[in-house]
Amino acid sequence: MGTPLHVFGFVIFAEGLAILMVGMMVATWYGSGRPASLSPGIKIPLAVAYLLSVVFTAVGLSPLSYFPPWSIAVMVPIAALALMVYLIRSMSEPDDGADTTPNECWSLGGIYYNPKDPALFVRARVGYGYTFNMANPWARRIMIGFISGIVLLVGFLIWSPHEPNRLPKKQMGRG
């Protein structure tokens, strides 16, 4: 017989992962100092967090209520395709402003260090999204917190108590 941790461990892991993603989205939102409109760099992690929450909650509640497996198997690729289409469309739109970060503050193509810039996040020069201003004291704290959260969640899955295999032993000599 399983413990509540056996039954709900998967859901706890998924919700912890969603909370970490939403936490990073909130940190990006408040730390970027950008306009009030939600950028795709913030909308996409939020959509992924919602998708993870729905899928893992459906899987976790499957012993109590029947969810057809095909519904989850269809929903995830459709949601992923919708996110990719949204990302491609948003990347093709004109940029909302010129890059105001000084060139001398960028190193190795993607590391931004500017003690004079109060922003925690700036738009990435390489790729899509945001990157930390490594001169901001909160940058390392948030990075360590996020990595610690991932390590704790993975550790939770790996080291959660497992029930030993209790299969009945074969009785020898009976026919």
Q: Is residue 61 part of a domain?
A: yes
Q: With the C-alpha atoms ordered 19, 25, 27, 29, is the resulting torsion angle positive or negative?
A: negative
Q: Is residue 118 part of a domain?
A: no
- Residue 30 within any structural domain of the chain: yes
Q: Which of 121, 134, 100 is nearest to 31 (CA)?
A: 121
| Domain count along the chain | 1
Q: Is residue 9 part of a domain?
A: yes
Residue 161 has pLDDT above 70, yes or no: no
125 falls within a domain:
no
User: What 3-state DSSP class applies to 139?
Assistant: helix
Please indicate whether residue 129 or residue 152 has the higher confidence score (pLDDT).
152
Q: Which domain holds residue 141?
A: 4-97+137-159
Strands 121-123 and 111-112: unpaired
Helix 40-60 and helix 4-31, axial crossing angle in degrees, nearest 10: 170
Question: Residue 61 — φ and ψ, nearest 5°?
Answer: -90, 0
**Long-range Cβ contacts of 155-158 (<8 Å, 24+ apart):** 156/9, 156/12, 156/13, 156/16, 157/9, 157/13
The arithmetic mean of pLDDT across residues 12-28, rounded, is: 81
Q: Using pLDDT thresholds of 50, 70 and 90, give the confidence band for residue 36.
A: very low
- Lowest mean pLDDT segment, chosen from 39-43, 61-65, 85-89: 39-43
- Site of tokens 């390392």: 140
20 falls in which pLDDT band (50, 70, 90)? confident
With a cut of 60, say whether residue 10 has pLDDT above it. yes
CA-based torsion, 33, 107, 137, 28: positive or negative:
positive
Q: What is the pLDDT of residue 106?
A: 87
Q: Does residue 144 have a pLDDT over 70? A: yes
| pLDDT, tens only, 107-124 | 887 888 999 888 888 877
- Reference 135, options 118, 154, 156, 123; nearest CA is 118
Rounded-to-integer distance, Cα 4 and Cα 153, Å: 17
Instruction: Answer with the residue of higher pLDDT: 11 or 117.
Output: 117
Domain contains 31: yes
For residue 166, pLDDT beyond 70? no
The better pLDDT of the pair 71, 34 is held by 71
5 Cβ partners below 8 Å, 6+ apart?
12, 160, 161
